[in-house]
Amino acid sequence: MAVLGVLALAAAGCGTGEGQGTSGSGSGPVSDSAGSAGSAGSAGKLSWDNEKVVAGRGELTDIAAVASDDVWVAGHDEKNGETKADDQYLLHWDGRTWKRQAIPAPLGDSVFEVRLDVVGKDGVWIYGLDEQGDTQRIARRDGDRWSAVPAPDLSNGRLTDTAAFAEDDVSVLLTSQGEGNGTVAHWDGTRWISAHLPAHADALDGTSGTDLWAVGLRTSGSGVGGKGKEYGQPAAMHGNGLFWRLKDTPTYRFKDPVPPEPSASLTDVVARSATDVTAYGSHTYDHGEVDNEPPPEEAIRLHWDGSAWHALPERHKGCDARSPLGEDGRNATDGKGGVFLSGRRYSAADGSCAKIAWSPLPARDGVTASAQQSVWPAETALVPGTDRVLAVGHVQVNQSGDPLSKPVLLELKKQ
């Protein structure tokens, strides 16, 4: 049976821009007349279908698609607009039905910021922070059992990103909350081995534990300070799990008059292969300090071709200023060279850009007919062995007297 096929829900209406309202009765967009997807190039017309709306209130935050009959989703309930550690849960698709499960006992049920990784061909790792937010917990599923994995030393930072390839090849980014650049810790199947980074990093990806990229910000070296008074420049660091080196990247400067506290940095990275890596970021400054400010920020998109980083030319304004969807850049890809971006945008391999349509939820389970709705995908996943793309997130329902958030699982459809 095709995954999720029995869960399709009928929904009416037209799509709108992320964060903009629609009528809950499905009468169409209140604003943003370009609600349906674009059709330039291979991007085509796309839409997110509401495949499963979870009863109650809350959000779905992460997804790990192991196979067409083995999909895991992390979510949490909301009560009176708040979420507690004990409100976290998992959903599992076994090829026939979705079943709600408690957080695995080896991880503990009082955790926050639950995230998932597919590890190898059929493994799943789950991560979470304890209720105090200072202890990382990790568990792995092998077959039908969950077992604890010792966490890396968090004295050098907090776990902010992961790159998992096999049970003995998992890397995590530990970002420093104060001074220091943070570290990358690598699990070899028996222990964690940590290596310090030469610059601050906010994202991690790669093709294996010996071909990793960490991207972020450097505050010294070429392009920092001087005439342009730049506080920082993009940092792209390549590592083999043990040793890390900064690679040269283009530098950024504003034209005179230079705005206050300008800085350029990278926040996301997607590694498709050793010779095809894209990093995303922005060149911005401290707003509100001077009159006649330049544009709010300049989008940065850099490409690694196996030998050097180059700035990518502008292709489509609707996509160029947006970053990959979710916390794991690799999950934002569709397996065909395309990338799902924030704002319900999709950038195809040929550079064409589509806005992904969406239909509002029907008026039931707390949603009124006059509600204004907006969908917020959080993470995507390509189901192995298929061309199906799923996403998890929530629908924000703004309505008189009782606004709420509805957990939702979406499936990409081509129109």
Q: What is d(CA 190, CA 47) in angstroms, rounded to the nearest whole number? A: 44
Per 3-state DSSP, what percentage of the chain is helix, strand, and coil (rounded to 5)? 5, 50, 45
Q: What is d(CA 51, CA 351) in angstroms, rounded to the nearest whole number? A: 28
Judge whether 66 and 78 are in contact, CB under 8 Å: no
CA distances in angstroms from 11 to 36, 37, 54, 196, listed in the order given = 15, 17, 15, 50
For 5-414, CATH number?
Answer: 2.130.10
| H/E element, 14 | none
Summary mean pLDDT of the chain: 86
CB contact burial 172-185 (16+ within 10 A = b; e otherwise): bbbbbeeeebbbbb
pTM listed for this prediction: 0.87
User: In the beta sheet, which residues pair with residue 79?
Assistant: 82
Structure tokens at 384: 């192995």
Tens of pLDDT along the chain (415 residues)?
A: 344 433 333 232 333 334 434 433 332 222 222 333 334 457 779 999 999 999 999 999 999 999 999 999 999 999 877 777 779 999 999 999 999 999 999 987 688 889 999 998 889 999 998 877 678 999 999 888 999 999 998 887 889 999 999 999 999 999 987 667 889 999 999 999 999 999 999 999 999 999 999 999 999 999 998 776 899 999 999 999 789 999 999 999 988 888 889 999 999 999 999 999 999 999 999 887 777 777 778 999 999 999 999 999 988 878 998 999 988 777 899 988 899 999 999 999 888 999 999 999 999 999 999 999 999 999 999 999 999 999 999 999 999 988 999 999 999 998 7
Question: In the chain, what are the domain boundaries?
Answer: 5-414
